[in-house]
Amino acid sequence: MAAAELGQWEPQRNTAVSCAGPVQRARAMIPLLEAAGPAIEAGRQLTPDVLEALRENDFFRLLTAPAIGGQALSLPVFAEICEALAIGDPSTAWCVNQGNVSAMSSSTYLATAVGQGLLGRRDQALAWGAQHSRATAVAVPGGYRVSGAWDFASGSRHATSLGAHVPVVLADGTPRPGPNGKPEFVTVLFPKAAARITEDWASMGLRGTGSDTYEVSDLFVPDSHACFRDRPEGRQAQGTITLFTSHLCYATGFSATALGTARGLLDRFVALARGKTARAGAQAMAENHAIQSQIGQLEAKLRGARMYLLGTVGEAWAEAEASGSLTMDTRMAMRLATTSVMAEATEVSVACYRAAGTTAVLESEPFERRFRDALCISQHLQATPWHLEMVGRHLLGVPQVAQFV
């Protein structure tokens, strides 16, 4: 491949794990997202034109069941969509992944009519914050009385419904144990208007996700709007995607977002190298052998990570469709791939930022915002290297309680 072609690479598509329609529509949004990126960051929320495009393309109902108006796309295709959106703007891709997996993993356990009411329209979206043990859902006849506050509610500014994962307690305050004997967490969904929202999202990157804090106090949530996610026996909807835990679905989308962020930075580094001569250099960057080698290595690293992710997720999807289940070996393979790919993509992003020199520090240039986004993505729970220890124990046959798979 000639150096002049780098950054314009169009990957070969495996028709078994790709769908031209939604993926191509996501790629078509890249120019819009690139142009809107600064405004998305400044406003700490997706802009009206971006939201309009997402709704027009039905990108908030990618994984939910057709019975409630969803598309029930395959997980490999979903990954490609998140990757494409992240090339344009990482915050947008982050919100799309977070919102879609949340909608799918909750509506799977709700009655169809409830799912239709909450998530059946293109303009409806769900957001929720991080799970913790400082809230309470008091079990009462017909439902729960919920009190607590949650942060990191990505996409909450355009969401129509909010949710929360809350420890269930009895009337006397005693934690209610779940099937595994540990305190039981219930996921509750409620109208956004029922919560008090504090717009306090101040972060290094991913500012456009508007991951604010929200709070409710003694809010009654009926049983119909509550569920226990990731318990297969409680599924109200069937489908291949419901065989995957929410953790693995989130991990797939976030690792694809990391890939897209890295691709956007690498393409920009290549474009910069084509026309820049470093002050300390005697020749143009494009003619510098070290730069040429570095770009080749980064391209190989990013392509390798991409194919590792799509290949592993594609194999898992094929297994789930063929057998109606996923083995623990396959779940661990997905955990290993998603965690490793997030690390690999972050390394590419960091290398592109550093290689761009002083140009990269300027707000007027396309590097520093994406660099900050890449670092924020790498801090997520789905990227923690602790997951690698778990996979290693599994491969070694060391007894353990598997998590996040």
Contact criterion met (CB below 8 Å) for 310 and 27? no
Q: Inform me whether the pLDDT recorded for 6 exceeds 50.
A: no
pLDDT score of 281:
62
Q: How confident is the model at residue 278 (pLDDT cuts 50, 70, 90)?
A: low
Q: How many residues does the chain have?
A: 405
What is the spatial distance between Cα 320 and Cα 238, in angstroms, rounded to a whole number?
Answer: 12
Residue 100 pLDDT grade (very low, low, confident, very high; cuts 50, 70, 90) = very high
Look at residue 321 and tell me whether its pLDDT is greater than 80. yes
Residues 6 or more apart whose CB falls under 8 angstroms from that of 64 comprise: 70, 71, 72, 100, 103, 104, 107, 115, 119
> What's the pLDDT at 1?
32
CA distances from 284 to 270, 278, 290 (A): 12, 7, 12
Pair of tokens at residue 271: 């474009």
Q: What is the pLDDT of residues 68-89, one digit of tens each?
A: 999 999 999 999 999 999 999 9
pTM of the model: 0.93
Instruction: Give the separation between CA 298 and CA 284, rounded to whole angstroms.
Output: 19
Q: What is the per-residue pLDDT across 216-230, written as a single tens digit (0 to 9) for each?
A: 999 999 999 999 999
The CB-side HSE value for 69 (13 A sphere, CA atoms) comes to 20
Look at residue 181 in the predicted model and tell me its pLDDT.
85
Query: Do 104 and 63 touch, CB atoms closer than 8 A?
Result: yes
Report the pLDDT value the prediction gives residue 15, as an integer from 0 to 100. 32
Q: Phi/psi class of residue 206: alpha, beta or left (left: φ > 0; alpha: ψ in -120 to 50)?
A: left
DSSP letter for each residue of 329-370: HHHHHHHHHHHHHHHHHHHHHHHHHHHTGGGGG-TTSSSHHH
**What is the per-residue pLDDT across 137-165, written as a single tens digit (0 to 9) for each?**
999 999 999 999 999 999 999 999 999 99
Q: Is the pLDDT of residue 60 over 70?
A: yes
pLDDT per position as a tens digit, 265-275: 999 999 999 98
β-strands 185-191, 136-140 pairing: unpaired
In the chain, what are the domains? Answer: 12-119 (1.10.540.10), 126-232 (2.40.110.10), 244-396 (1.20.140.10)
Residue 404: phi, psi to the nearest 5? 60, 30
**What local confidence, expressed as pLDDT, does residue 19 receive?**
41
Which tokens in the block code for residue 327? 């083995």
**Whole-number percent of the chain with pLDDT over 70:** 94
